[in-house]
Amino acid sequence: MKGGFHGLRAKQLSLSLIALVCTFVFIWAWEKTPLLTSLLPPQSRFSMPSSEILFGAPVVKEMSSNPGIYVKEESSNAVAPMRSANTSSSKKSITDNNSTPPPMEKEVCNYAKGKWVADDRRPLYSGFGCKQWLSGMWACRLTQRTDFSYESFRWQPENCEMPDFEGSKFLRRMQNKTVAFVGDSLGRQQFQSLMCMVTGGEESPDVLDVGSEYGLVKNPGAVRPDGWAYRFLNTNTTILYYWSASLCDLEPLNITDPATDYAMHLDRPAAFLRHYLHRFDVLVLNTGHHWNRGKLKANRWVMHVGGVPNTNRKLADIASAKNFTIYSVVKWLDLQLPKHPQLRAFFRAISPRHFFNGEWNSGGSCDNTTPLTGGKEVLQDNSSDPVAEGAVKGTDVKFLDITALSQLRDEGHISRYSIKATPGVQDCLHWCLPGIPDTWNEILYAQL
């Protein structure tokens, strides 16, 4: 009996030892062999953070009181990952392998990139009605032209919000402020366009001519003043234009001689800008189409740099002189901005010409009346006016880039049409109004 008892007990101990060893081996194999976990039913596995939990809607957040634990808010049945005994190891696996991705960067807004779309709500004002502000030579509704489909399109930027233009909203936003356009005749077109847009092309008796406050009066013998300035009395908003085709300071070389030449200071902005900049809240500059030998000779402009006649052969080239001036004016303006924190300054890209089969004085024409025959979309990121784009880069002067989008609208020019219906030179430089310059002002409004 005694021997049988001890033999039985030894056998039980041996079985217990074998069971213990098997258990140890099984646990060790469990930890070292992921395949074993796959043999278990799904609900038995350890919870791991899924992509839905980490990235799913509506909100994924890391609880500040428990670093490394992620929960999905607004979901009663969401499963949070279990935290292992080794906290640092658990957090590392979540952060490294299933970390929440960084927020997607918002695409940069480029108002010059987009497409023209048909819009039966256009034009924004009547070409018949805006006689108070619109020059007759640019009001194509008053000419023999019979096709006005060019009026029924709007510009739709690709990644920008373009608010609908409303004159009353513009005036409220510009209450007690002054908007100034300084440039050539295309700048004058933009000015007249804005006046028509703000008033809806209707007569506005509450608008006061304040040109005399800025020296904009018609001098004896002059065809017109050097500009215009009007104030909307209800909001005390002033909108003005000053003619400065080159943006250079022009100085008569002999003030006693009516036929004197003028020093064209390439490195000095127009005196009007220097005198009245402190009164402006929005400034739009442009230049470009007067930079040719014919214009310089007709206006008797002599290029000066540093206060003396230019002797630099490189600057004697018209294109180089223009580029030098644009950079000089933008640099000067950028240096002035800290002194005038209220001022938003823009440099507008050049407006394209559309003379086909010749120039303005050699039979060039723009007879097309069908919109968007050359395409409706601008896909490029860079401007079609690289000089202006380069000048404003790195400055606080904003860029009003309208070149490429206007290039698609050759049907919108004055062309052969005029009020008197007389044959002559076609105007493939200026635009019919209502027309393309309205879009320039919509983009300006969006950037304000």
Q: Is residue 108 part of a domain?
A: no
Q: Is residue 418 part of a domain?
A: yes
Per-residue pLDDT tens over the stretch 411-436? 999 999 988 766 778 999 999 999 99
- What is the rounded CA–CA span in Å between residue 203 and residue 288? 33
Per-residue pLDDT tens over the stretch 272-305? 999 999 999 999 999 999 999 999 999 999 999 9
- What is the rounded CA–CA span in Å between residue 351 and residue 289? 9
Check: CB of residue 196 under 8 Å from CB of residue 134: yes
- What is the rounded CA–CA span in Å between residue 83 and residue 94? 10
Q: Which residue has the tokens 């001022």?
A: 343
Q: What is the pLDDT of residue 230?
A: 98
Q: What is the pLDDT of residue 150?
A: 97
Q: How confident is the model at residue 27 (pLDDT cuts 50, 70, 90)?
A: low
Q: What is the pLDDT of residue 361?
A: 83
- Percent of the chain predicted with pLDDT > 70: 76
109's CB contacts (< 8 A; 6+ apart) are: 157, 159, 160
Q: Is residue 97 part of a domain?
A: no
User: Which of 49-53, 372-376, 380-384 bottoms out in mean pLDDT, i.e. has the lowest?
Assistant: 49-53
Q: Is residue 10 part of a domain?
A: no
Q: Which residue has the tokens 């020093």?
A: 263
Q: Is the peptide bond before 34 cis (omega within 30 degrees of 0)?
A: no
Helix (H) or strand (E) holding 405: helix 403-407
Q: What is the pLDDT of residue 104?
A: 59
- Reported as half-sphere exposure (CB side, CA atoms, 13 A), residue 44 has a value of 6
Q: What is the pLDDT of residue 70?
A: 29
Q: How confident is the model at residue 10 (pLDDT cuts 50, 70, 90)?
A: low
- Domain coverage including residue 146: 114-246+278-288+323-447
Q: Is residue 253 part of a domain?
A: no
Q: Distance from CA of residue 324 to its chain's centroid? A: 24
Per-residue pLDDT tens over the stretch 57-106? 333 333 333 333 223 333 333 333 333 334 443 333 334 445 555 665 66
Higher pLDDT, 18 or 84: 18
What average pLDDT does the segment 348-370 reach?
Answer: 94
**What DSSP line would sit under 192-239, residue for residue?**
HHHHHHHHTTS--TTEEE-GGGGT--PPTT-SS-SEEEEEETTTTEEE
Per-residue pLDDT tens over the stretch 47-62? 333 333 223 333 333 3
β-pairing, 70-73 vs 59-62, is antiparallel
- What is the rounded CA–CA span in Å between residue 448 and residue 439? 14
Buried-exposed string 172-183: b where 16+ CB fall within 10 A, e elsewhere: eebeebbbbbbb
- Percent of the chain predicted with pLDDT > 90: 71
Q: Is residue 234 part of a domain?
A: yes
What are the backbone angles phi and psi of residue 162, rounded to the nearest 5°? -115, 100
Q: What are 354-361's contacts with CB under 8 Å, separation 24+?
A: 354/410, 354/413, 354/428, 355/426, 355/428, 355/429, 356/428, 360/425, 360/426, 360/427, 360/428, 360/429, 361/425
Check: CB of residue 285 under 8 Å from CB of residue 347: yes
Per-residue pLDDT tens over the stretch 248-262? 999 999 999 999 999
Q: Is residue 50 part of a domain?
A: no
First to last CA, the chain: 107
**Burial level of 185, CB count in 10 A (0-12/13-18/19+)?**
middle
User: Which of 88-102, 122-136, 168-182, 308-322 bottoms out in mean pLDDT, i.e. has the lowest?
Assistant: 88-102
Q: What is the pLDDT of residue 204?
A: 87
- What is the rounded CA–CA span in Å between residue 137 and residue 132? 13
Check: CB of residue 153 under 8 Å from CB of residue 116: yes
Q: How confident is the model at residue 221 (pLDDT cuts 50, 70, 90)?
A: confident
What average pLDDT does the segment 35-43 reach?
Answer: 42
Check: CB of residue 265 under 8 Å from CB of residue 304: yes
Q: What is the pLDDT of residue 332?
A: 98
SS (H, E, C) 161-197: CCCCCCHHHHHHHCCCCEEEEEECHHHHHHHHHHHHH
Number of domains in the chain: 1
Count CB-CB contacts under 10 A for residue 365.
17
Q: How confident is the model at residue 358 (pLDDT cuts 50, 70, 90)?
A: very high
What average pLDDT does the segment 354-379 reach?
Answer: 94
Q: Distance from CA of residue 215 to its chain's centroid? A: 33
Check: CB of residue 309 under 8 Å from CB of residue 371: no
Mean pLDDT of the chain: 83
Q: What is the pLDDT of residue 7?
A: 52
What average pLDDT does the segment 384-389 reach?
Answer: 98
On the question of pLDDT at 37 being above 90, the answer is no
Q: What is the pLDDT of residue 71?
A: 32
On the question of pLDDT at 107 being above 60, the answer is yes
Q: What is the pLDDT of residue 46?
A: 33
